[in-house]
Structure 1
């Protein structure tokens, strides 16, 4: 049994880039991010925005997989995970993205993790069809995957829980953990600053492992 759990976002956290933004830039017309702007304006849910963007992709699967490869999965991830596991940490991925590309990147890196993400499949010639996960304690309408519920579940199992993320949708989950165990960059970091909430910045996901292994007793 693990002594501690790190719940981590995937796009922009374990990777350098988000799939949706790379796909929009390379595979879609200039107005492709309209649904994302609707989400930011509060007129569309996060899940519906991503599903709509993905539904507009028309390209061979090889082209979409080339985008996946360029998301920039942290090359230090496998070694960092080995160090965390050896120290008693379980790592769980909680993503509002699609498991179609998440599992490919993790499998390609030889990494096996518990993943909560929206299921999907790439049809011949496109699009990427992303579905809502089946109802469970870890699902919600807004994002598909309820990251805060994943964090709360971990808190019921172990004493020490950390969270890492980069987006606005990560805020509810991030606020559940202590500032010293809250890792943020990008939009999540900005949202936490606006609220006067503390967090630890990171450049690459493997930096989080190094920080956690130096403060296992933080609370």
Structure 2
């Protein structure tokens, strides 16, 4: 069991762009974000919102591959992962998105990580992206499909020093489960932590987190 674990969100955290946002901007009609607005209003779950958005896609494999390419993973990702592992850190991806594109992005940059995300597949010939709930996972939850906070606590309960990194509203419970000095945030997550007056460490790209941890700047 690793003594130090970095649990990281994927879309918008390890990458510059979220897959669902690219899909909405390029492939879907103007009302495509209606499920997301319903989620923000508390009418449906985060999982249901993404599932409905992905289900409306009608795209060829080539078109979806272009979206995957344009997620823009941190150029320093592979080096940062290697450096963290050399220093004894385990890296775990915890995402409320779909593993269909996450694994492709990681493969493109030559990185193999433990991934907890919602399973999915590109359904042909209709061209939708089907996302299912990981109901057999020990970290399954109704709201997001994957309970990121439960993953943080799982490693904490085994005595690990656990850091968390994220960028979205749904990352809040996992961020709060980590010690303030091991809590990394940007974008919506940073905004909500600011509003709650909760401490965190800001980052611009994922490799910033690795540098902070390796420099010993994050205190437990």
Q: TM-score, normalised on structure 1?
A: 0.97
* Cα offset, 1:217, TM superposition: 7.2
- Note the 1:36-47 alignment, pairs <5 A: 36-47=36-47
* Cα offset, 1:35, TM superposition: 0.5
* Cα offset, 1:75, TM superposition: 1.1
Deviates more, 1:164-173 or 1:154-163: 154-163
2:206 aligns with 205
1:172 aligns with 173
Deviations along 1:27-55, one digit per CA (max 9) or x if unpaired, are 11111111001111111100000000000
**In structure 2, distance between residues paired with 1:160 and 1:131:** 31
Deviations along 1:87-121, one digit per CA (max 9) or x if unpaired, are 00000000000000000000111101000000000
- Note the 1:127-142 alignment, pairs <5 A: 127-142=128-143
**In structure 2, distance between residues paired with 1:108 and 1:159:** 30
Deviations along 1:184-205, one digit per CA (max 9) or x if unpaired, are 0011001101111000100000
Name structure 2 gaps, 5 residues minimum.
none
1:25 aligns with 25
Name structure 1 gaps, 5 residues minimum.
none
**In structure 2, distance between residues paired with 1:136 and 1:114:** 13
* Cα offset, 1:126, TM superposition: 1.1
* Cα offset, 1:123, TM superposition: 1.1
1:99 aligns with 99
Post-superposition, which runs of at least 4 consecutive aligned residues in structure 1 deviate over 6 A?
Answer: none
- Note the 1:24-173 alignment, pairs <5 A: 24-124=24-124, 125-173=126-174
SS at match of 1:175: helix
SS at match of 2:116: strand
* Cα offset, 1:157, TM superposition: 2.2
1:5–1:158 CA contact under 8 A, matched in 2? no
**In structure 2, distance between residues paired with 1:145 and 1:106:** 19
Deviations along 1:173-218, one digit per CA (max 9) or x if unpaired, are 0001111100000110011011110001000000000001112772
1:47–1:142 CA contact under 8 A, matched in 2? yes
Q: TM-score, normalised on structure 2?
A: 0.97
Residue 15, structure 1, aligned to residue 15, structure 2: yes
